[in-house]
Amino acid sequence: MSEHDIRLTVNGIERSVRVPARRLLSDCLRHDLGLTGTHVGCEHGVCGACTVLVDGVPMRSCLLFAVSVDGAEITTVEGCRAPDGGLGPVQQAFQDCHGLQCGFCTPGFITTITAYLRDNPNPTEEQAREAIGGNLCRCTGYQNIVASVLQAADIIRSES
């Protein structure tokens, strides 16, 4: 099987990597690029733990081949930090609201919510629940994740 040289801009930094065509983006990020923040829960697109932003749009990295997104801008949970390296607004909201327990599903929620709030800065509670409706969490029962969405919206509003 052939190997391909691809370029991905990950969290603002251009990375070059050589991968076989079948290398899933999730594995490329985690093992070839050392960004282990993105997690793998099912490898069939249902749980959402692997969700990253591809050109700003949430997608399941376990359902993408790295070669297929050659040239794209990828944002992972690591890229959701604040410019000074501290917690970004969505990350801070999760801590404020106890929106995580084991933390395994959390990166997928954080990227999804980051994109969502960029496009929908003032969600209602119902909209917030719907926004997180495609990600599974086994620990929290979602209650505090919904609260985290609303809290993050508040933080972003107050920061701007």
- Taking CB under 8 A as the rule, does residue 1 contact another protein? yes
The string of DSSP codes covering 50-66 is TEEEETTEEEEGGGSBG
Does residue 118 touch another protein according to CB under 8 A?
A: no
Q: How far apart are CA 91 and CA 82, in angstroms?
A: 9
* Residue number with CB closer to another protein (122 or 143): 143
Show the DSSP H helices in 9-142 as ranges.
Answer: 25-27, 89-96, 106-119, 125-131
Among 33, 107, 150, 153, binds another protein (CB under 8 A): 107
* Token output for 100: 């995580």
141 forms part of the interface with another protein (CB under 8 A): yes
Residue 98 sits in the site that holds another protein (CB under 8 A):
yes
Strand partners, 156: none
Select the residue interacting with another protein from 9, 15, 73, 104 (CB under 8 A): 104
Here's the x/- map for another protein, 9-48, by CB under 8 A: it reads as -----------xxxxx--x--xx---xxxxxxxxxxxxxx
Handedness of CA 141, 143, 145, 146 (dihedral sign): positive
Q: With H, G, I as helix, E, B as strand and everything else as coil, classify residue 79.
A: helix
Residue 114 contacts another protein per CB under 8 A? no
What is the DSSP pairing of strand 57-60 with strand 51-54? antiparallel
Judged by beta carbon, residue 142 or residue 158, the one nearer another protein is 142
**134 contributes a contact to another protein by CB under 8 A:** yes
Q: Does 65 interact with another protein (rule: CB under 8 A)?
A: yes
Among 7, 18, 103, 124, binds another protein (CB under 8 A): 103
